[in-house]
Amino acid sequence: MQNDRPMSTENAVLESKYNVTAWFYDILDYPWERQYRRWRPQLLRDVAQKVLEAGVGTGRNLRHYAPGVELTGIDLSSKMLAKARRRSRNAACAVELIREDATALTSCPESHFDWVVSFFLCCVMPDALQPLAVRQFERVLKPGGRFRLLEMVYSEDPALRRRQEYFAPFVEKVYGARFDRDTLQHVENSEKLRVTNTYFLKKDIYLVIEGNRLP
């Protein structure tokens, strides 16, 4: 299934970037994936029922969902989705992959999902688009539904911060990602989403934001 609704200029640029990056994404990401693959089972262990994964990418999470999950995975990039479809063959759960804009979610019904999961999506999204994505998460989550977001932020440690600043131009050029996004603030500003927990997986860089949709 594919959503062909026109998207914003910013997202069109991201789509073009990832349609190119998709060809070598897993190779580029390998040094970090050695860490991420230890986190994925932990972050997805309690995710159940109807799940939206926003920014499914090349499908690295797919094999970690429990058999009873009904997963809808979305991504802007058709090339990234092509890789995710190959990985979906090894998933234990039902998987539907859709080319979709997280700031619109036109293919997703209101109050439909028990969970919204997103890893490294919002740090790729320009700040102006993040409130749009948050509003869509509000809309598609059931009352009481839960969300879990994983993002990268700048460290308060001077040595780590300098290292991040060194890599920042490469990260933004290849992935469109930045370490200075205000994702937590955007979620906290939501009238319908409640943040219940935040914690770091490593140092003070990899931030997990958890919460639920208010009744």
pLDDT the model gives residue 174: 87
Low-confidence ranges of the chain (pLDDT < 50): 1-5
pLDDT the model gives residue 6: 52
pLDDT the model gives residue 71: 98
Q: What is the pLDDT of residues 102-128, one digit of tens each?
A: 999 999 999 999 999 999 999 999 888
CB-count exposure of residue 75 (10 Å: 0-12, 13-18, 19+):
buried
pLDDT the model gives residue 141: 98
For residues 213 and 187, is the Cβ–Cβ distance under 8 A?
no
Q: Selecting from 3.90.420.10, 3.40.50.300, 3.40.50.150, 3.40.640.10, what CATH number does the domain 9-213 have?
A: 3.40.50.150
pLDDT the model gives residue 213: 98
pLDDT the model gives residue 9: 78
For residues 101 and 156, is the Cβ–Cβ distance under 8 A?
no
Separation in Å, CA 83 to CA 26, 33, 86, 91: 10, 16, 5, 13
| Per-domain boundaries in the chain | 9-213
- Distance, in Å, from the CA atom of 26 to the CA atom of 90, rounded to the nearest integer, reads 17
pLDDT the model gives residue 2: 46
pLDDT the model gives residue 145: 98
pLDDT the model gives residue 39: 97
For residues 25 and 58, is the Cβ–Cβ distance under 8 A?
yes
- Distance, in Å, from the CA atom of 53 to the CA atom of 71, rounded to the nearest integer, reads 7
Alpha helices in the chain (DSSP H): 9-21, 25-44, 78-88, 130-140, 158-175, 183-188
